[in-house]
Structure 1
Amino acid sequence: MKAVAIILAAGEARRMGYPKALIEHEGGKSFLQSLASTFGKAGCSVIGVIGKDAEAVRDQHPTIHLVENERWQDSQLGSVKAGLEAAVEDGADVVLIHPVDMPALRATTLKSLIKALGDSVEGIRPEFEGAPGYPVILSRGAAERLREKDSGETLLEGALKGLQVRRIPVKDPGVVVNINTPETYERLFGSAPRPAPPPKRRGKKAEPTAAPASMEASSEGLPGT
């Protein structure tokens, strides 16, 4: 069974001051690099969907499979569909959809969620303390239906209403924590948002460190993708 993770990173991120895909998370890694590593540890192939500042994101992430949504300003769902098309073409049996500004989830959580996706439902998503989280995990059939859906919806949350998506309680706060404002970033890491260093200068020192399990959780919908 081939699992493909779609990381949504096409938005403008005006509040953060930098493209979210480029912002430093831990160990000199960007949000996008950190998530790609986590999904990779869970056995997933990774596709990043980019839009705003696409060239800069490509330069920073030469080893990640990136697809560009040239009409990223039109709707969030457009970026989702661009990722779904690439994932289906890549032979995905299972598709995971995740926003780039939620980089704190654990690989062990992903492994458990993928295992929990059975034949009885079209998809699942985690919840933490009753709040729905990400990634949204869909069967290939559900992913294809979502890709073809033309209901006038612009956001992923609205488009999911027509699918059977079951919520799975998890103990990982990373599934609901959005780092989508400078205030949230500074509260978690102790500094203003900053871009990750270029790949050739990336070091091993973990600064800032990953947010602890006690971090404040947010249950907002898919932010700024």
Structure 2
Amino acid sequence: MLLAGGAGRRMGRPKALVELDGEPLVRRALRVLAEGGCAPVVVVLGAEADAVRTLLPAGVEAVVADDWAEGMGASLRTGLAALEHTESAAALVHLVDLPGVTAAAVARLLAHGSPDALVRAAYAGRPGHPVLIGREHWAGVRSSAIGDAGARTYLAGHAALALVECGDVARPDDVDTPGQLARFR
């Protein structure tokens, strides 16, 4: 699942529409998810949903978080609700503004996929994204996903959370501003 619904206020436009090396961040992130083994792939839209939808490749399900302005929690709730109709054992949650995440990191997390999985990528031991959430945790995550915290509250209270080191195959740097995007390049 790709969360791509924010307005990108500090960027000056939705980050899903921002290009890096000629590729919109939304397409880059969706490509990484697919190459890493995610199927089905759901992208959660919000701000500028119609413009972002035109960039989506065939086979990607798009859902709109009508309450996207509330923050990442709204997008997470919408995405997990959309996955309820699938047979997916777990949802790998990725953010559109993390261009340094690679297919290798996605595949490494997916290897832990099970209905009771609760796995988070780590970079030099520090928790980051993506996050793998087993189906057994979806209801709890949805009920605790408020504002921009996403699943943070739920994850913090869980002893079952496992960290999987990904620093050797990915970078955790997000790109929230034009300056951060320039440094990433």
What TM bracket, shorter-length normalisation? 0.7 to 0.9
Distance 1:152 1:108, change over 3 A: closer
Unaligned runs of 5+ in 1: 1-5, 190-225
- 1:153 deviates by 3.8
- 1:20 deviates by 0.6
Q: Where does residue 137 of structure 1 map in the other structure?
A: 132
Counterpart check, 1:92 vs 2:92: no
Counterpart check, 1:162 vs 2:140: no
Secondary structure of 1:89's match? coil
Q: Where does residue 123 of structure 2 map in the other structure?
A: 128
- Percent sequence identity over aligned pairs: 28
Q: Where does residue 12 of structure 2 map in the other structure?
A: 17
Matching of residues 210-221 of structure 1 within 5 Å:
none
AA aligned to 2:64 is E
Unaligned runs of 5+ in 2: none
- 1:152 deviates by 7.7
Q: How many pairs align?
A: 179
- 1:29 deviates by 1.9
Counterpart check, 1:52 vs 2:43: no
- 1:14 deviates by 1.4
Task: Report the TM-score when normalising by structure 2.
Answer: 0.87
- 1:118 deviates by 5.8
| Contact map agreement 1:42 1:108 (CA 8 A) in 2 | yes
Residue among 65, 71, 80 paired with 1:69? 65
Distance 1:75 1:109, change over 3 A: closer
Counterpart check, 1:40 vs 2:34: yes
Secondary structure of 1:18's match? coil
Residue among 97, 108, 113 paired with 2:109? 113
Q: Where does residue 24 of structure 2 map in the other structure?
A: 30
* CA distance in structure 2 between the aligned counterparts of 1:153 and 1:22, rounded to whole angstroms: 25
Distance 1:65 1:167, change over 3 A: same
* CA distance in structure 2 between the aligned counterparts of 1:166 and 1:99, rounded to whole angstroms: 19
* CA distance in structure 1 between the aligned counterparts of 2:133 and 2:56, rounded to whole angstroms: 26
Q: Where does residue 101 of structure 1 map in the other structure?
A: 97
AA aligned to 1:32 is V
Task: Report the TM-score when normalising by structure 1.
Answer: 0.73
Secondary structure of 1:124's match? strand
Higher relative contact order (CA 8 A, sep 6+): 1
- 1:62 deviates by 5.2
